[in-house]
Every structure is written in C-alpha cells, then in structure tokens.
Structure 1
C-alpha cells in the first residue's frame, strides 16, 4: 500500500532533532505513508540544503517535503528543481525569499524572544575552522520553545537539543521552491521563536494553504495530530 502514496520526508529545525517528529510519524505510518525523518546537519543553509536534496533525490516516486522552523528554509532550498517533490509543508517555519535569512525574517515583526535565551559556544571544526554554535538556555527552553509540552518532555527536549551554527541562521536563501511547488503552512499562533505575524506574512506571500493552530513553536510535539493532518491533506491534494 505504501508504494501508492508519496514518501513523506520530515526535516527538523534548530534546537531539535528527528525525534521531534515522533508523534507525527506514528500517525502518518498508521495511514500507510512511508516516512523518512532527515537528520538536519544545522551547519549552514547551503550545505544543509544539499544534504537534504541528495536524500530526497535518492527516493523513488513522489515526495512530500515538510520542514519545521529553520527546516523550512532548508526544504525550500533543497526542493528547487527536484521533479519528485510534489508538495511542501511548512510547520511553524521559515519560507524565505531569495537572499533572505532566518535572522532577518524572525525580526521582521515584533514578538520573538529567542535572542535573549540563546547561549553561544565557540567550537573548532576539523581543519581549524572556528564557528559559533547556538543553544537555548536549558532553564529557559520549556517556556521559549515548548510552553505547551508536558514539563518532563520539555526538559528532555532541552537536554537533547542540537545546536545550530549561528552562520546558518544568517545565511541568505537561494531561489525558493515555494514559487513553483504547491505549499501548505501551519502557523503556530503562540510561537515565541518565529512570531505568528511573520509566519502569516511568509505564507501569504507564497500563496500557500494556511491553517492556524494554537500551539508553541514545538507544535509537532504538542499537536502532532494537527501536523499529520496537514501533511496528509497536502499529500492527497497532489496525488
């Protein structure tokens, strides 16, 4: 049965990992969708997009590509020119136009309190290249990222968060796939990372199908049924 349906490729964003999609994956698999949760490197927009692009290109048959947060920037870059990507789903995510960065878009409208919660850590990569990794302060993570997630779950998410290189959030996007690929957007109305007004602005600019959900930035954890429902809608509409 799964061969009759598109493969759903899920791309997490900054300060998260693929387990943030677990509840969504369970629901999609119960409806016989093949699902792949990509491990987003979070090193740089161009390199992260290339990684996801190569993964998607290796999949036989149609693909619905979904991204959360910074993962939205990644899927929009990665899908450009890939004929097997039939739909894009942005979940509390960035939909940058060419040259725009996550940093610029998150500050385009008031409401984001992410900056004051970040902890920078300088690290040296192989070859001696120095970068700055960003974490959310673990004590502030639940309120900032996952205010509607059970306390114990949010604490685990804070401990297992994956850092993003600061340069990745400041890097400008390439030509966006949402200009040519049908797109769906879930706006998390209680988001403290990407203000709902910014999410709505980007969705309207992309002429996307939009659903508003009362949820924090961690909507895929707090409201996995709503996220899975929107992905299913996108898959059905493009089949």
Structure 2
C-alpha cells in the first residue's frame, strides 16, 4: 500500500461508555433525549471535550435523491421535536421545500453517546422565529443579511463588505428589534417518527435502543412509541 495513504483502520479506540439498558431507558424519547442533552451541556461547562453540545448533523436529499449532510446548531428542543434555523433559500431550505424527509443526529464522542432523529421537517412559526432572532447577538443578526447562504462568492472580501454595509444600516443600539428579520430567514422542526439512542460499549457491543412511532402524539407521550433494540 502507498505510504501516503492514511490507514484510518489502524486508529482504534475501545469505547469505555456505560451504554444504555432497557432498565435505564426513560419511558419516552423526549425524557431520554432531554436527559442526555442536559448531561452534554453540563459536561461542556466543566470540560473541553464537548465544545458544542447542541451541534446537530442534518441530512436532506436533493431532487435527484442524492443526500446532503451538514452541521447546524439545535436552537429549539421540546416535546414537539428538535429545531434549527437557516435561510430558506439555502441548499437545505430548497431541498426541504422539495422533500421534507429529514434525518439528524447529536453526537458526543467523548461521552460515547449519540441520538438519531428521523422524520419530516416542518417550518417554524414566524412568531417563534422572530422571538428567537431578537435573542441572537447583534453580529449574528447582521450576518443573516450579509450572507446569501449556500450561494457562491468570489472571495471573503465580498462577504465582509456586505457585513459592513448592513452593520452601518442597522447599528447596534442594544435592542432586540435593532435588526429586522430577513424574509428568507427561517427554520424547521423535526416531527420525528423514529428516535434512536446509541451508547458505546467495549468490544463494539454497543447499545442501540430505538423509539418507533406507532400512533399520534408528541415525543413525551409513551403510547405513541414502541421500543426495540437493534444490533450494533
């Protein structure tokens, strides 16, 4: 084999996680997910091995059925499902407009834990978005105007020029309404039909406990879900 080829299969780590048993599993996917998200946030505040506990990998498909995946930040999470914000004119926004099927995952390698969500994306309500937009730092609100997300640009200078132009238009006065919400700025919530909890264990005998939807109801309604175990 060429000496320049990276042998990633030679890098091996035996996972020292505690896994997840049926006896430990919460009665609903919301309670179990909230437990793990809270654990990740708490760890991020005392250790540096979980730098972005809400980093959410989001997968969509284009009109040809080819998948796309990228990482966003989970900005909403309640019994209705996880949510994130983006430009509706971005690649992910356009793909979700054509096909709302979506998959996402929260992964915490240092904790040997991951949560997978599968379902359909639903646009967030404008009132909810406006409230959240006003809570963002002023610079982040300005960048929402400066960046035409996913569109090509000739260089970084153009992006910084656009930022400066909008910053001058809407200076920071310390108010939530300093910067208006862009028309194309939006977000989505995942209405889940499957939630999987992965817990790493030694010898690759990982735990995979899956909540599958069997009826109507939120993530916190036990009757709407059936639990099964999958082999690692």
Higher share of residues assigned strand: 2
Q: TM-score, normalised by structure 1?
A: 0.27
Higher share of residues assigned helix: 1
Q: Which has the larger radius of gyration?
A: 2
Q: TM-score, normalised by structure 2?
A: 0.28
